[in-house]
Amino acid sequence: MKVGVLVMDEDLTAGCHVARAADAAGVHSLWTIDYYNRNSLVRAATFAAVTESAVVGTSVTPLFARSALATATAAADVQAVAGGRFALGVGSSTRRMNSDWYGFDLAHPAPRMSERIGLVRALLEHGGGPFSFEGRWESVSFAHLDHAVKTLPVPIYAAGVGEGMLDVAGRTADGFVGHPIASAAYLKTVARPRVIEAARRAARAEPPRFLTQVIASVDEDRAVARRRAAAQVGFYATVKGYDPLFPGDPRHAERDEIRRAFRAGDARAVAAAADGLVDERAVFGTVTEVAEQLRRYEPVADVVQLYSPHFGVSPDEIAANERSLIEVAACWNS
């Protein structure tokens, strides 16, 4: 298992400092997010330009926030800057994010995700001449789609929660990206078997790779580290669409309490209500304790992306945590 760091800083200049420090320390990979105030592809290109060795990837790029052509073109550009070190992680995002942020009606999310990944891959792999793609939802046509410079291959990893998305990852993508609050138990008993079986049925030439984000909070004061991790776990536990991450519906009462606290805008109450969830859905404590807790992901992940809590956490606290996460990742990969 390799360990990378997901760079959370909203300030891109600060993020570049983190990326350089992580690359110099020998961290395996650097990952970027997409949000209303962060562009994953711009950030990936920037981090690729200021680093030399680390894999640079998006975790994840919302697949319906941009056209398939815009995504493929950006991915090819980032890969050119990265010299082959770039990995494109994609996800559908939630229905509300698609409708409220992107103006996109996400009906039939799993089959649409599968078709869009196929189209992005076809655009990336097209060498020259006419191009035509006619799917159930997508229709793209060019009299000429020529590339003067050969596009380097771009691996595509698909994030998913429900069974349909797990099937998409196994059938269509090069691998799977687990959600920040996906427990090691969920990955072992639900995600991995489903993705592997989907890949087998699709007769994929290469076995899927397994990546997962893991909420990671470092502080010498273990109680502080735990509270920050719990707040982030709670933040994600409010989303109904992530209920499949709790198979059998365990901790239903806690999740209801978390949602009440979140609606009230009380971050500390969110953390308190989520305290019973944090042990299996995050890693926290000192650098040594976090590194030791990561061992539970070894049987289920090829790459772990350390995800710094940001809900109710100041930019300075995020930056300090990222410095510690670089230490965790560098020691793990050495």
**pLDDT tens for residues 122-175?**
999 998 899 999 999 999 999 988 887 788 899 999 999 999 999 999 999 999
| Angle CA 220–226–228, to nearest 5 | 100
- Pull the structure tokens for residue 82: 């990265």
Residue 255 has pLDDT above 90, yes or no: no
Distance CA 70, CA 47 (A): 20
Place of tokens 């990979």: 29
Residue 248 has pLDDT above 90, yes or no: no
Q: What is the pLDDT of residues 266-279, one digit of tens each?
A: 999 999 999 999 99
Residue 240 has pLDDT above 90, yes or no: no
pLDDT given for residue 247 in this prediction: 85
β-pairing verdict for 2-6 and 283-285: unpaired
pLDDT given for residue 147 in this prediction: 80
pLDDT given for residue 245 in this prediction: 93
Q: What is the pLDDT of residues 87-125, one digit of tens each?
A: 999 999 888 887 888 888 888 999 999 999 999 999 999
Domain tally for the chain? 1
Q: Which of 51-60, 198-207, 245-254 comes out lowest in average pLDDT?
A: 245-254
Q: Identify any residues that bridge with 209 across adjacent strands, giving them in sequence order.
A: 175
- What angle separates helix 163-172 from helix 109-125, to the nearest 10 degrees? 20
Place of tokens 């230490």: 327
pLDDT given for residue 95 in this prediction: 81
**Percent of the chain at pLDDT above 90?**
85
pLDDT given for residue 236 in this prediction: 95
The alpha helices in the chain, defined as continuous H runs, are 12-25, 40-50, 68-82, 95-100, 109-125, 163-172, 184-186, 192-201, 222-237, 252-263, 267-273, 278-281, 287-293, 315-333
Please, are residues 192 and 167 in contact by the beta-carbon 8 Å criterion?
no
pLDDT given for residue 149 in this prediction: 78
- Pull the structure tokens for residue 36: 């209303």
Q: What is the pLDDT of residues 63-93, one digit of tens each?
A: 999 999 999 999 999 999 999 999 999 999 8
* Length of the chain, in residues: 334
For residue 288, what are the domain limits?
Answer: 2-333
Q: What is the pLDDT of residues 283-303, one digit of tens each?
A: 999 999 999 999 999 999 999
Q: Give the global pTM.
A: 0.95
CATH code for the domain in which residue 10 is found: 3.20.20.30
Residue 185 has pLDDT above 80, yes or no: yes
Average pLDDT, the chain: 94
Please, are residues 79 and 45 in contact by the beta-carbon 8 Å criterion?
no
